[in-house]
């Protein structure tokens, strides 16, 4: 999504609100863009930033080709600051450095923009520190905070932002879009369950790391049934080394969630239409015989709790060990 016209096709309500604000010159000092991955948070943040600096706008549309727009797009504009998690979280030192930057005058104008990705990962100290910007807003400063998990944003930050809710993409049209891009139907079904981002889906469909991760998930599910005594060894020797980064750890849990959903769907007789990982029929039937529906529902709840724990910066190894114990009960 490169223009507000593009955004309006995917996020009509959000684009209408923001475009009206731009036309009337009523840009908020702080925005909180909340929505699932792939719903356009970064694209909207870029458009807002470009609109504030572009020297050749047409109505609300930044030109996209001027020096300002190109530098913002490449994240090289000195007065547009991006803040991302350092490891598992955004730390207070990062906020202190940002505050230091804001004590200086803008290099090219008095306007400054800061964009905080994964704002839900702000540590409590960092979140309290960022309130200084939000409580004493400058007319020339705009904060844009992005999150997939708005409930983890402290209320004092939420109350000082204009909250923009981004709607999930239509799954049917998204699957069709992926198939038009060349993905097989079964891959399109899987990818649409993992992401709303076309570029990510296409990249993962041909990525060797992703294929290996998918294989590990199926192996782990089988081990719970056939070799439960070896599960912890498998976790430490194969799972942890493969799913190293936070995003990878989250994806591993997402794939595991889909695997157990496949077993539940098979229990319910939903068949091929809802299968995600496409395990062989014989293997899936064995898993259906082993797990009751109630046990599968319990496991799905435990997996969701594991995802929440990971979001709250619980160590990934501990998350997997606790999850393993819960599944084996």
Confidence of residue 198 (pLDDT cuts 50, 70, 90): confident
Confidence of residue 137 (pLDDT cuts 50, 70, 90): low
Q: Judge whether residue 302 has pLDDT over 90.
A: yes
The token duo for 198 is 């076309």
Q: Judge whether residue 207 has pLDDT over 80.
A: yes
DSSP 8-state symbol, 85: -
Give the tens place of pLDDT for each residue, 11-45.
Answer: 999 999 999 999 998 999 999 999 987 788 999 99
pTM of the model: 0.68
CATH, range 207-328: 1.20.272.10
> 254 vs 32, 140, 202, CA distance in Å?
25, 41, 17
Check residue 11 and give its pLDDT: 92
Where in the sequence of the chain do the CATH 3.40.50.300 domains occur?
Answer: 4-165
Check residue 225 and give its pLDDT: 92
Neighbours of 318 (CB within 10 A): 11
Name the CATH superfamily for 4-165.
P-loop containing nucleotide triphosphate hydrolases (3.40.50.300)
Q: Judge whether residue 1 has pLDDT over 90.
A: no
Q: How many residues belong to the chain?
A: 329
- Rg of the chain over all Cα atoms, to the nearest angstrom: 22
Calpha distance 252→65 (Å, rounded): 39
- Strand, coil or helix: 116: strand
Least confident span in 116-125, 188-197, 286-295: 188-197
Mean pLDDT of the residues in the chain: 89
**Region 100-124: what's the mean pLDDT?**
83
Q: Judge whether residue 93 has pLDDT over 90.
A: yes
Q: Judge whether residue 211 has pLDDT over 70.
A: yes
> 149 vs 36, 145, 261, CA distance in Å?
8, 12, 22
Check residue 216 and give its pLDDT: 96
Q: Judge whether residue 274 has pLDDT over 60.
A: no
Give the tens place of pLDDT for each residue, 228-238.
Answer: 999 999 999 99
Higher pLDDT, 26 or 270: 26
Calpha distance 146→237 (Å, rounded): 35
């Amino acid at each position: 999504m490169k223009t507000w016209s593009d955004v309006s096709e995917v996020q009509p309500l959000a684009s209408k609100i923001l475009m009206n604000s731009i036309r009337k010159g009523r840009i908020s000092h702080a925005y909180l863009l909340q929505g699932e991955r792939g719903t356009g948070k970064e694209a909207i943040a870029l458009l807002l930033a470009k609109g504030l600096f572009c020297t050749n706008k047409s109505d609300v549309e930044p030109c996209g080709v001027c020096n300002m727009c190109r530098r913002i797009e490449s994240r090289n504009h000195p007065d547009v600051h991006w803040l991302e998690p350092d490891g598992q979280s955004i730390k207070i030192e990062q906020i202190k450095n940002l505050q230091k930057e804001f004590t200086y005058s803008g290099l090219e104008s008095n306007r400054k923009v800061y964009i905080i990705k994964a704002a839900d990962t702000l540590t409590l100290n960092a979140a309290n520190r960022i309130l200084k910007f939000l409580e004493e807003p400058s007319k020339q400063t705009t904060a844009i905070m992005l999150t997939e998990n708005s409930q983890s944003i402290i209320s004092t930050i939420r109350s000082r932002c204009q909250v923009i809710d981004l709607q999930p993409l239509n799954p049917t049209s998204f699957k069709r879009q992926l198939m038009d891009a060349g993905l097989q139907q079964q891959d399109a079904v899987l990818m649409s369950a993992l992401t709303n981002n076309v570029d990510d889906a296409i990249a993962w469909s041909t990525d060797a790391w992703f294929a290996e991760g998918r294989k590990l998930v199926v192996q782990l599910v089988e081990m719970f049934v056939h070799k439960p005594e070896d599960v912890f060894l498998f976790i430490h020797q194969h799972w942890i080394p493969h799913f190293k980064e936070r995003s990878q750890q989250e994806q591993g849990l997402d794939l595991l969630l889909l695997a157990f959903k496949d077993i539940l769907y098979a229990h319910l007789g939903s068949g091929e239409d809802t299968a995600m990982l496409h395990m062989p029929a014989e293997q899936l039937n064995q898993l259906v015989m082993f797990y009751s529906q109630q046990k599968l529902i319990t496991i799905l709840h435990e997996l969701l709790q594991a995802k929440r724990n990971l979001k709250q910066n619980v160590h990934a190894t501990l998350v997997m060990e606790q999850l393993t114990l819960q599944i084996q009960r």
